Chain A
């Protein structure tokens, strides 16, 4: 079992889109409480850290107009250097304490941020951007530990609808993850007023051999997390874990960003369109008139 000696890196991407969470909180059937979800997530993260001494972690918030590292904090961040750093109480493990504190304070910062209150980016979440950050961070950790093998995986907690304009970057991230055999696990909330079916995320987990899970009962989130997403990649050969059978391989068209199941593809550049046109807007090829 040499894989037991690997460094385990878990990158968590949390969807913090305020509009979606506001909608979820007022959902009649399955109301979601953001604070409670984060609490359960933090226990899960502590569980990940407690499995092994050198387990690595990154948490990224995928907000409406930006992505932000919640942990680790960027070097020389004021939070890190603060003189009035509250000293750690004796009943908390140092590592847990650092993570929890960083996540909570950074999240507060994000939620209070005035810029995101503007209506123009209502219901968006920068999942692709967060994935790009996560992969860059994973790449850095892998480079820093060239002698030890690093097993990495990404967990996305998602609630927002797909953002069609992020199709290409999302796919690029998926392929980049596949290249370094990083699994992308997806934990998706959906209720009547939020979530809905995602097209990109099942593809992400399917291509990278990750797990896609719709959370039927959000109040039991912690159990789902511990059961399904805690086992490190090397354990996936041993433990039976859920997997999604039906994967939607439809794509978004380039012209209207609609999700299509039959589309027209430019033979030169493979751009997808939902209707016939005379000229490819992507590569400027002029097509012969349809007969």
Chain B
């Protein structure tokens, strides 16, 4: 559980970081939409949320000292962090020791709470008379589309290769053209290779995968597609507030937002019955975008874990999905494939191969834990301790050699000089290696200057002493 909590936190942080990089004017435009205000609030740490709520119906600026006493003394630090976060997101501005809430945010968040104001930021629902689209269909659509994206990433041959997906995978550095790639006549058909970043990406939680791609998309939209970033962001935050299984009208969307929807359809975030349809349906991926928590943990049963790992390093995976098998084959040496399961062995070679691709042992362990079979999840720890330890040891094995720049000192005149310099250098932490018999000494790059000058001084003193 805690690992998924950390993952969620990671997502929240990366969104916040992105937002903080935006200029102030953008924020004012963003906060004009109540849905955005709501979504931003949910990204905040718990204390900041309470501060916002308390300031929401306060018209006058509040003295900072007054805010400080809201907290117990030993939590003042957390409060300060929250306040600085608020001011970086331009929800609150502080001047002259006073805290003033952004008027635009204040007004529109109030509108969100009471359902007032003249805006369509929570989506215009439409009646779905035919009732053909149900939640199961949406889930299936989302899962299939996302799987297609991942398949494209691992390079499974397939025919559906939307340009938007290709572009995004490339831009995010998950895929790259092969180095020798001399031919570039048709970009679409060119085989692209997965990068080590891409391998790491595969092992992430779906929510994190979606968000990291979306953040890349934002960057792409701004730089290459010439979209208005405010409209894109507002749209992303809006879809987080939509209801699963409900049809929404395309009408209120701006042209930019329609383009975004077109692009994101390929990732399974939306569903449209036909391309020209006036309605769109958000999928579970969309509605859980801004939930800030792992919706996957409360998903229906079909997303249950399927991996069993035994203490003898055998792995059984109850899956027939080529994608999951492909991912597993990254770090497990697969032995047999049956109709509904594959078996394999977690071997040193397989793990080392994964490690050389830039995948870390933590990622492997997290992946195995996150997708553990319900039976396995009853145990504590979920994975056998031996397996966890061994995977970590295999990783540490690769780190036996560490390269560091050094200066070699040799040809000391006598043992005395050698020990003198060693005694000087050792407290500095500058000695990497020494050999008393051969009177050689390796010194770190950082320590070199000090040791050099000390040696000079010592040599001068010795020469002076000898001369006298």
Q: List residues of A whose CB falls within 8 A of some B CB.
A: 1-2, 4-5, 43, 46-47, 50-54, 87-94, 96-97, 100, 145, 147-148, 222-223, 226-227, 230-232, 234-235, 237-240
- Given A50-B112, A53-B288, A87-B125, the answer on whether A93 and B38 have CB atoms closer than 8 Å is yes
User: Are the CB atoms of A91 and B122 closer together than 8 Å?
Assistant: yes
User: Are the CB atoms of B115 and A90 closer together than 8 Å?
Assistant: no
Among B116, B117, B241, max chain A CB count under 10 A is at B241
Per the bound structure, the CA–CA distance linking A265 and B402 in Å amounts to 79
When A and B form their complex, which 3 residue pairs have the shortest distance between CB atoms, in order from nearest? A53-B291, A92-B115, A90-B120
Per the bound structure, the CA–CA distance linking A46 and B53 in Å amounts to 11
Mark each residue of chain B from 1 to 28: 1 if its CB lies under 8 Å from any CB of chain A, else 0. Answer: 1101100100000000000000000000
User: Are the CB atoms of B293 and A5 closer together than 8 Å?
Assistant: yes
Q: List residues of chain A with CB within 8 A of the CB of B46.
A: 1, 4, 232, 234-235, 238
User: In the complex, which residues 347-400 of chain B have their Cβ closer than 8 Å to any Cβ of chain A?
Assistant: none
Per the bound structure, the CA–CA distance linking A249 and B69 in Å amounts to 31
User: In the complex, which residues 278-301 of chain B have their Cβ closer than 8 Å to any Cβ of chain A?
Assistant: 288, 290-295, 297-298
Given pairs A5-B293, A93-B112, A230-B50, 15 additional interface contacts (CB within 8 A): A1-B46, A5-B8, A50-B113, A51-B41, A53-B290, A53-B293, A88-B125, A89-B115, A90-B123, A91-B118, A91-B122, A230-B53, A232-B46, A238-B75, A239-B71
Q: List residues of B whose CB falls within 8 A of some A CB.
A: 1-2, 4-5, 8, 34-35, 38, 41-42, 45-47, 49-50, 53-54, 56-57, 69-72, 75, 78, 111-125, 127, 241-243, 246, 252, 288, 290-295, 297-298
Q: List residues of chain A with CB within 8 A of the CB of B120.
A: 90-91
A98 → chain B, closest Cβ, in Å? 9
Q: List residues of chain A with CB within 8 A of the CB of B75.
A: 237-239
Q: List residues of chain A with CB within 8 A of the CB of B47.
A: 235, 238-239
B122 → chain A, closest Cβ, in Å? 5
Q: List residues of chain A with CB within 8 A of the CB of B50.
A: 230-231, 235, 239
Per the bound structure, the CA–CA distance linking A88 and B293 in Å amounts to 26
- Given A226-B57, A238-B47, the answer on whether A90 and B38 have CB atoms closer than 8 Å is no
User: Are the CB atoms of B56 and A93 closer together than 8 Å?
Assistant: no
A235 → chain B, closest Cβ, in Å? 6
Among B5, B116, B246, max chain A CB count under 10 A is at B5
Per the bound structure, the CA–CA distance linking A4 and B13 in Å amounts to 14
- Given A2-B2, A238-B71, the answer on whether A54 and B125 have CB atoms closer than 8 Å is no
Q: List residues of chain B with CB within 8 A of the CB of A226.
A: 53-54, 56-57
Per the bound structure, the CA–CA distance linking A235 and B435 in Å amounts to 59
Question: Who on chain B is nearest to A39 by CB?
Answer: B114
Per the bound structure, the CA–CA distance linking A172 and B282 in Å amounts to 46
Question: Who on chain B is nearest to A87 by CB?
Answer: B125
B372 → chain A, closest Cβ, in Å? 13
